[in-house]
Chain A
């Protein structure tokens, strides 16, 4: 069993959950994920890890409440215990000293990209970060990210904070500011990583996206997470979750992602990024 240390809603519908998982916290690297179950009867939910403390064993995820299972996670309180936190799964994000990097996070991806941003900064990269959301009240963790970013742009679709626009605007901003990224990282809902992959392909550098297909075991056993990348079938849980978004077969991925979700729920999760909270 794993102790819940903290659970709070940080912006409408997005929750920050910290659990005690020392074995995982000790070895996790940026870009990896865990699978959690909220209760003994629950589904296995893959969630990217947004922060950790190797010494105390605390592990933080940011998740969006979209359905039954995430709903159960959202009801957790400190002192509760959950039966499964397994990981770290997936390959760590390949980090290096690239020079200038553009890091784009939206929805839970703002949090899940934070470890990579921190590590990229520590490796001596010039980090240009973008926080994407529908509206300004959906941004979070600015103060956490800021120390590691040379520039931190806010983008909102309704223009309520920072630049007005969506993922497509990012390419323009980079050009206007004469920033030439040597590598681009994008985390967030499927819609964002898909859009960004298309729009940013013109920079002719890898657009590393963290894919989030449906998963069960997370160890390469079931094959439900298969995606086509560069014409080949890959298992996102063991070969990814990071891939070059320019090579991903998005049409296929978008359809597979929808298998167990009715149209409406999918839209809420993947492009609403913050269903208005009651």
Chain B
């Protein structure tokens, strides 16, 4: 804590692997605070009476509370406060866009040095894991009610974790062979170690949640059949349907969706190949189309797989890159080439069907468009070709239509998202709730968790009071 007079504006940096080292390994980039650094950073917090930071956090963690405990060296108390609102602090501390949320709202941000809330959150969670004394909260007496959760991403995990503690019998169904959703198959190891995700899954299992992998709701059984076996159902199936650009040559070999590329690497352990059985091509020149976090993840993964040149191909300018600034900077440091104001027109291959070149067009910034950003407009006659042997399309995902497609009575938007009541998370179908990316379209981990929490509350009310 500061003495109230002088503001400490020295934000403690988190140690990182140096760029030249980390660009060729899959270990975590950011190494986490030491106890000393954490305490020093925590002491910068002013413990505001009206903490703006809290209103910036979608799940309203008592930030001054947990930061204060870290400052006092009471780490167990800090983690307890965190877990009141956030069951996945080790994950959120790493991947939340804090600069847009809690840290953006921190009063010290006015001076350009917000408290490093995310790093402290991560610190507390790691401390708890290292202690190996994860506290298991007392669960309510069994209610005899059965809940099915479809999808084991952050939304589903949150619902399961909340409802099991309230005494309900919870079963999570997951289509893939491993739980965790995007945390497992999408976000790469060097940003979110899979051991951290597995630890969280084991934790909810230790509370009594049953996790059934290899089970596709809508295929292995329908939503209606689930409703025969369970009192309530939560759908948290995410936004897993990859978009392509619909330009010529997109089906050439060497062209991947971000989902395919990242799944091969993460879920299928491709980053360990040949130690794993998933074949992964060694590509020399890789282009990643898109400018979001997913694109950065793909580019940095390709680099670690040994590509000589990896570029981000993005049609707007650096200022419009939707990725977190930290990730852009990490990518730049590692040597990713940014081909900005560049629009792919078509992909050209050789006679055996492998990608060889990408034909692009130079863009320039025009008027502000509906998204509030300056619209890229093509510069005529500026077509050019770049030699490439792989191209990863990371331009977005929409919700997977598997469940909506097999449940005609579930109201959906024209974009394929499930329509819910925002206050309760209820869908148009009796006894069915939904939340996370399947409702919002591709968003963030913390928003998915927040949605899970809202639904869990409403589901509990329904299960106990029948409405």
Contact = CB atoms under 8 A, between A and B. Distances in A.
Contacts of A227: 251
Interface string B310-338: 00000000000000000000000000000
A233 B245 CA distance: 11
A252 B353 contact: yes
Interface string A208-226: 0000000011011111101
Interface stretch (A41-49, A133-141, A161-169, A190-198): A41-49
Contact of B279 (A221, A255, A260): A260
A85 B176 contact: no
A147 interface: no
Most chain B CB neighbours (cut-off 10 Å) among A88, A220, A223? A223
Contacts of B214: 83-86
Nearest to B260: A222
A23 B260 contact: no
A27 B226 CA distance: 14
B220 A233 contact: no
Given A86-B175, A256-B251, A219 B260 contact: no
A89 interface: yes
B253 A255 contact: yes
A223 B278 contact: no
Interface string B70-108: 000000000000000000000000000000000000000
A87 interface: yes
Contacts of B251: 226-228, 233, 252, 256
Contacts of B353: 252, 255-256, 258
Given A223-B260, A226-B251, A252-B251, A216 B221 contact: no
A138 to B, nearest CB: 28
A233 B215 contact: no
B259 interface: yes
Interface string B341-375: 00000000000110000000000000000000000
A43 B263 contact: no
B220 A27 contact: yes
Nearest to B352: A255
A247 to B, nearest CB: 15
Interface string A248-268: 000010011011100000000
A86 B241 contact: no
B215 A86 contact: yes
Contact of B401 (A89, A220, A226, A233): A220
Contacts of B242: 221-223
Contacts of A224: 256-257, 260
Contacts of A89: 216, 219
A128 interface: no
Contacts of A76: none
B467 interface: no
B402 A42 contact: no
Contacts of B279: 260
A84 B216 CA distance: 12
Interface string A74-90: 00000000011111110
Nearest to A40: B177
A199 B317 CA distance: 52
Contacts of A256: 251, 253, 353
Contacts of A27: 220-221
Chain A contact residues (Cβ within 8 angstroms of B): what range? 35 or more
Interface in B252-269: 253, 256-257, 259-260, 263-264, 268-269
Contact of B276 (A24, A41, A216, A255): A41
B167 interface: no
B348 to A, nearest CB: 14
B176 A88 contact: no
Given A69-B277, A216-B260, A44 B253 contact: no
Given A23-B220, A255-B352, A256-B353, A217 B176 contact: yes
Given A220-B401, A222-B242, A86 B177 contact: yes
Interface in A100-152: none
Interface in A32-70: 37, 41-44, 68-69
B242 to A, nearest CB: 5
A171 interface: no
A241 B240 CA distance: 20
Nearest to B278: A43
Nearest to A85: B214
Interface of B: 175-177, 213-216, 219-221, 240-242, 244, 246, 250-251, 253, 256-257, 259-260, 263-264, 268-269, 276-279, 281, 352-353, 400-402
Interface of A: 23-24, 27, 37, 41-44, 68-69, 83-89, 216-217, 219-224, 226-228, 233, 238, 252, 255-256, 258-260
* Complex A-B, nearest 9 residue pairs according to Cβ-Cβ distance, in ascending order: A255-B353, A222-B260, A86-B214, A223-B257, A221-B240, A223-B242, A260-B279, A224-B260, A84-B177
16 contacts: A37-B177, A43-B277, A44-B268, A68-B277, A69-B277, A85-B214, A86-B177, A86-B220, A87-B216, A87-B220, A216-B264, A220-B240, A222-B263, A233-B244, A256-B353, A259-B281
Given A27-B220, A258-B353, 10 more contacts: A44-B268, A87-B219, A89-B219, A216-B264, A216-B268, A222-B260, A223-B242, A233-B244, A256-B251, A258-B253
